[in-house]
Structure 1
Amino acid sequence: MLQKYENIMVAVDGSAEAELAFSKGVNVALRNQSRLTLVHVIDTRALQSVSTFDADVYEELQAEAKKLLDDYENKAREAGISDLVQVIEMGNPKTLLAVDIPKDQKVDLIMVGATGLNAFERLLVGSSSEYILRHAKVDLLVVRDKEKTL
């Protein structure tokens, strides 16, 4: 019996590889007639270094995230997706994407780009996709840009 995914979560951050994960996520959701859950996590770890900080920063980041997800939603709906959920969270992307959001949203497939951060940031904070691979309780598909792997 073939696996049928009911709820596919795609993590997007505006990077090229997240865009590829989104495109593949739309195709998988269409083939499975499943829900597409679009997720963006605002990494609050980066904000901890800001000493004086006001609520406007959070509001601006949330507005940018909402616009990003709205753009992805419009593309998904144009492609034929009818069952779609947007999730914007603030916190540590690794734990939110690996455990918390999939559990809360009843996700059975996570799709992420292989990279979203630059090389220096990956060195400091580690790869989110690697963390998700080690901690997720559901299937994971890591999408790579073929041109970057050649």
Structure 2
Amino acid sequence: MSDNYQTIVVGTDGSKSSLLAVERAAKIAAAFDATLIIGCAYYENKDDASETLRQDSVTILGDETAQKNLEAGEATAREAGATKVEKAVRPGTPVEALMAIMTDNKADLLVVGNRGINSLTGRLLGSVPADVARQSDCDVMIVHTVT
């Protein structure tokens, strides 16, 4: 395994805070000349969404909204200097989607924003950043995007 990051995955839900995480990931990707994969989860229907709804994540219904979020993420990444940018969308919870994208692409760094990590819900039920940090088998960077 190389000392440099070659494949970096970052999650976005289209929110301002998630785009800050994309920007940070893009700067790291540019510095290492790594491939940046911007990932977004979506729920296929309202029933799926309501079962897993949490206060710390934006609910994205349908692939079309996810694709728009990815386009915004790609624009942010390119502005921040990333040149090798790919996009990935997966159905399911944000944690499930990020884990799948990370595994499918053999990522060596996963970048997420810290939204939800300090909320009461986040402490009781878990949050996207805390859950991915526990489940990931690669390095995880939690970007301070929300105070």
Does TM, normalized by the shorter one, top 0.5? Answer: yes
**Could you say which structure has the larger radius of gyration?**
1
Tell me how far 1:62 sits from its aligned partner.
1.2
Tell me how far 1:8 sits from its aligned partner.
0.7
Matched, 1:104 2:122: no
- Residue type of the alignment partner of 1:108: D
> What is the TM-score normalised by the length of structure 2?
0.78
Count of aligned pairs between the two proteins: 137
Counterpart of 1:110 in 2: which secondary structure? strand
Tell me how far 1:70 sits from its aligned partner.
1.2
Take 1:133 and 1:46, find their aligned partners in 2: how far apart are those partners? 27
Counterpart of 2:131 in 1: which secondary structure? helix
Counterpart of 1:87 in 2: which secondary structure? strand
Take 2:140 and 2:105, find their aligned partners in 1: how far apart are those partners? 15
Per-residue CA deviations over 1:65-121 (Å, capped at 9, x if unaligned) read: 111111221232344422111001101222332x3221101111000001169x576
Counterpart of 2:36 in 1: which secondary structure? strand
Counterpart of 1:111 in 2: which secondary structure? strand
Counterpart of 2:38 in 1: which secondary structure? strand
Tell me how far 1:45 sits from its aligned partner.
8.3
Tell me how far 1:123 sits from its aligned partner.
6.7
Change over 3 Å in CA distance of 1:45–1:94 after alignment to 2: farther
| Deviates most, 76-85 or 35-44 | 76-85
| Alignment correspondent of 2:85 | 84
Contact 2:12 2:22 in 1 (8 A): yes
- Residue type of the alignment partner of 1:28: I
- Aligned Cα root-mean-square deviation (Å): 2.9
Take 1:126 and 1:103, find their aligned partners in 2: how far apart are those partners? 21
Counterpart of 2:62 in 1: which secondary structure? helix
| Alignment correspondent of 1:17 | 17
| Deviates most, 136-145 or 121-130 | 121-130
Uncovered stretches (5+) of structure 1, i.e. residues with no partner: 51-59
Uncovered stretches (5+) of structure 2, i.e. residues with no partner: 52-60
Give the percent of matched residue pairs that are identical in Structure 1 and Structure 2.
Answer: 27
Contact 1:45 1:92 in 2 (8 A): no
Alignment of 1:1-150 (within 5 A): 3-43=3-43, 47-48=47-48, 49=50, 61-97=62-98, 99-115=99-115, 119=119, 122=122, 125-145=125-145, 148=147
